[in-house]
């Protein structure tokens, strides 16, 4: 097993990419902290993990709140004594043109998607510095590399994650802490469900992908397993694009 007895915190692990990542890391031997704002979804992930014999706990967490992050970390340490892996996956989406985006909606997206990565990483890095090792994987998006209409706040937040990843990688490489990000393409999750209900939009996304299909949460989870494993020890500050070839065009 590539992650035997490693302790992993995954934010937004109640569904979609987060849940798939929790299951994938667990299959490689990791013990899982499921952090999510939804108790119902988070507990369901824990139930699935325990069914496959994994040690797992749920912590209700709003990643935009420093007090919630503190509770998340302290509970993890109390239960497992260490933190080897942090997957910053929690994120939300908002669609509107820039001139129609309210300040409230802009702040909400940036607070969860970007500030949440900062708060979680800042606190977990304090523990990783004591251990002199650790792996941080930030879930960005191809929306951080390309512009998508009516997605200004989301695109800005994901671009911010990509460059924040580079900064953290530079600052902590000497302490044996790897920081990388993964940039998914269009993935079939609850977040994209509304967009994909429109047949024309769905067809457009599929034809924009050389593989001619949408991504699955498991596609991203397997990339995260690699970045969390010892196999990626010399990979640092990179953004692994998993989009079926969308951005290659």
Residue 201 lies in a domain: no
| Total count of domains within the chain | 1
Paired tokens of 71: 């509770």
Between CA 151 and CA 94 the distance in angstroms is 7
- Residue 196 has what pLDDT? 63
Of the candidates 4, 20, 15, the residue with the CA atom closest to the CA atom of residue 224: 20
Check if the beta carbon of residue 139 is closer than 8 Å to that of residue 17.
yes
Tell me if 217 sits within 8 A of 186, measured CB to CB. Answer: no
Closest CA to 191 of 12, 9, 37, 6: 12
Q: What is the pTM of this model?
A: 0.96
The parent domain of residue 220 ranges over 7-188+216-244
- Cβ atoms of 226 and 232 within 8 Å: the answer is yes
So which residues are the catalytic ones? Answer: 154
Structural domain contains residue 148 = yes
Domain membership of residue 25 (yes or no) is yes
Q: In this structure, what CATH number is given to the domain that contains residue 73? A: 3.40.50.720
Residues of the chain with pLDDT under 50: none
**Beta-carbon-side half-sphere exposure of residue 133 (alpha carbons within 13 Å):** 9
**Cα–Cα nearest to 231, from 219, 223, 243:** 223
Is 207 inside a domain boundary?
Answer: no
Is residue 152 in some structural domain?
A: yes
Establish how many alpha carbons lie within 13 A of residue 126's alpha carbon, considering only the half-sphere containing its beta carbon: 10
């Amino acid at each position: 097993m590539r992650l035997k007895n490693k302790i992993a915190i995954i934010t937004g692990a109640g569904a979609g990419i987060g849940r798939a990542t929790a299951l994938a890391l667990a299959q490689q031997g990791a013990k899982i902290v499921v952090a999510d704002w939804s108790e119902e979804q988070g507990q369901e992930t824990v139930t699935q993990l325990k069914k496959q014999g994994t040690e797992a706990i749920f912590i209700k967490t709003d990643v935009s709140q420093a007090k919630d992050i503190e509770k998340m970390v302290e509970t993890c340490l109390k239960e497992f004594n260490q933190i080897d892996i942090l997957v910053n996956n929690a994120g939300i989406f908002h669609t509107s043109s820039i001139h129609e985006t309210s300040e409230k909606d802009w702040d909400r997206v940036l607070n969860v998607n970007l500030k949440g990565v900062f708060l979680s990483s800042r606190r977990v890095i304090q523990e990783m510095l004591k251990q002199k090792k650790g792996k941080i994987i930030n879930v960005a998006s191809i929306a951080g590399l390309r512009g998508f209409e009516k997605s200004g706040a989301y695109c800005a937040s994901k671009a911010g994650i990509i460059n924040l990843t580079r900064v953290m990688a530079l600052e902590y490489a000497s302490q044996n802490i790897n920081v990388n990000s993964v940039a998914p393409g269009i993935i079939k999750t609850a977040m994209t469900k509304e967009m994909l209900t429109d047949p024309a939009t769905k067809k457009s996304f599929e034809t924009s992908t050389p593989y001619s299909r949408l991504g699955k949460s498991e596609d991203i989870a397997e990339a995260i397993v690699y970045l969390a494993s010892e196999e990626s020890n010399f990979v640092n500050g990179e953004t692994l694009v998993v989009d079926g070839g969308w951005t290659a065009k």
